[in-house]
Amino acid sequence: MAMKRVMVDVLKGQSVFPPPVWMMRQAGRYLPEYREVRQRAGSFLDLCYNPDLAVEVTLQPIRRFGFDASILFSDILVVPHALGRDVRFEEGRGPLMTPIGAGEIAGIDGELFHVHLAPVYETVRRLRNELPAEVTLIGFCGAPWTVATYMIAGHGTPDQAPARLFAFRHPEKLAALLDLLAEFSAAYLIRQIEAGADVVQIFDSWSGVLDEASFEAHCVRPVQKIVGLVRAVYPDVPIIGFPKGAGTRYDVYRAKTGVTGLGLDWTVPLSQAARLQSDGAIQGNLDPLRVVAGGRALQEGVERILGALGGGPLIFNLGHGITPEAPIAHVEAMLQYVRGSEGL
């Protein structure tokens, strides 16, 4: 009989205390063992596409901290890369791409999509075999809007003005791009589940820059399509949506997309989070800088979240990814606070 995976139970509506805990970007630059493997890998993309190394860095935080869930080590931009767009990562600048023109969208070719991503599926298969049986394995993709912002601008920007302007000037072209990305992202998630993922998460890191109508068109509808396509094949696999910065629109996001769980960023008030929790599992939402600060700031942040949300279905997490400056001792302290020890 398969061992109980607590995070899956919580996503299906159970309340568990202390709650299961993991961190976004938990395999990353704050860990010396990650930095060592990253140096060996060559480029960041080489690391994403090398199952031996991707499995190793995914397992590192599980070995060190014993998190309740493990998330596949990869990147949201492997999807456009697999669709034939050039992607490279430069130290200090992040991802860089050749911006896509409105006239190029119709010519995107996905014929080799799954061939390109075969190493990622192999990584997922190996992880499910190598992870402790009780650890939930999370697959993921970027939401179409967030992926499109990088494809249109060619790099990250503070407010995604290039993509927003593209949307106003070429609404039909953007709708076609988002539809295409939704279709291939769903196929990508389905393959991850087939390979062994217990849960999948959709990261919409740039949903907070949009007005009301644009949020509905660019964030809600494409994710709704992904959820529908995944559920048609795997109706019981939980899906977490993380529309960072959605603010007052979190309610409509869950209701319309149909995601199982909601990832909350750190700006979401705990009173709002408690209301959202009455409709299903939530995940979050500690400010990552509290982990950097440590001490009283960290302890109070954890205690407030547990006090407000610990009685319902909660997955304890940060409200965004852990930063490279976070001391390992502070991560250990956070886990002890969550799990009820004295802390450090």
Tell me the three-class secondary structure of the chain, residue by residue. Answer: CCCCCHHHHHHCCCCCCCCCECCCCCCCCCCHHHHHHHHHHCCHHHHHCCHHHHHHHHHHHHHHHCCCEEECCCCCCHHHHHCCCCEEEECCCEEEECCCCHHHHHHCCCCCHHHHCHHHHHHHHHHHHHCCCCCEEEEEEECHHHHHHHHHHCCCCCCCHHHHHHHHHCHHHHHHHHHHHHHHHHHHHHHHHHHCCCEEEEEECCHHHCCHHHHHHHHHHHHHHHHHHHHHHCCCCCEEEEECCCHHHHHHHHHHHCCCEEECCCCCCHHHHHHHHCCCCEEEEECHHHHHHCHHHHHHHHHHHHHHHCCCCEEEEECCCCCCCCCHHHHHHHHHHHHCCCCC
Average pLDDT, the chain: 96
Annotated catalytic residue: which of 9, 29, 125, 128?
A: 29
Annotated catalytic residue: which of 5, 30, 34, 38?
A: 38
Question: Does residue 278 sit within a domain?
Answer: yes
- Is 29 one of the annotated active-site residues of the chain? yes
- Is 38 one of the annotated active-site residues of the chain? yes
Looking at residue 4, its pLDDT comes to 85
pLDDT for 53 beyond 70: yes
**Are the CB atoms for 338 and 18 separated by under 8 Å?**
yes
Question: Does residue 1 sit within a domain?
Answer: no
Percent of the chain with pLDDT over 90: 95
Annotated catalytic residue: which of 49, 121, 150, 337?
A: 150
Question: Does residue 165 sit within a domain?
Answer: yes
pLDDT for 1 beyond 60: no
pLDDT grade for 342, boundaries at 50, 70 and 90 = very low
Tokens of 135: 């650890």
Tokens of 230: 């995944």
Q: Which domain holds residue 266?
A: 6-339
Question: Does residue 290 sit within a domain?
Answer: yes
Mean pLDDT of 138-143: 98
Looking at residue 90, its pLDDT comes to 85
pLDDT for 2 beyond 70: no
Indicate the number of domains in the chain. 1
pLDDT for 232 beyond 90: yes
Annotated catalytic residue: which of 46, 75, 179, 251?
A: 75
Question: Does residue 56 sit within a domain?
Answer: yes
Percent of the chain with pLDDT over 70: 98
Question: Does residue 238 sit within a domain?
Answer: yes
Supply the CATH number for residue 210's domain. 3.20.20.210
Q: Does the reported pTM lie above 0.75?
A: yes
Q: Is 280 left (phi over 0), alpha (psi -120 to 50) or beta?
A: left
Question: Does residue 344 sit within a domain?
Answer: no
Looking at residue 341, its pLDDT comes to 53
pLDDT grade for 64, boundaries at 50, 70 and 90 = very high
Mean pLDDT of 48-70: 98
Q: What is the C-alpha separation between 182 and 216, in angstroms, rounded? A: 15
Tokens of 343: 């802390």
Looking at residue 253, its pLDDT comes to 98
Question: Does residue 158 sit within a domain?
Answer: yes
| 150-205 confidence digits (pLDDT tens) | 999 999 999 999 999 999 999 999 999 999 999 999 999 999 999 999 999 999 99
Looking at residue 94, its pLDDT comes to 86
| 269-319 confidence digits (pLDDT tens) | 999 999 999 999 999 999 999 999 999 999 999 999 999 999 999 999 999
- Is 25 one of the annotated active-site residues of the chain? yes
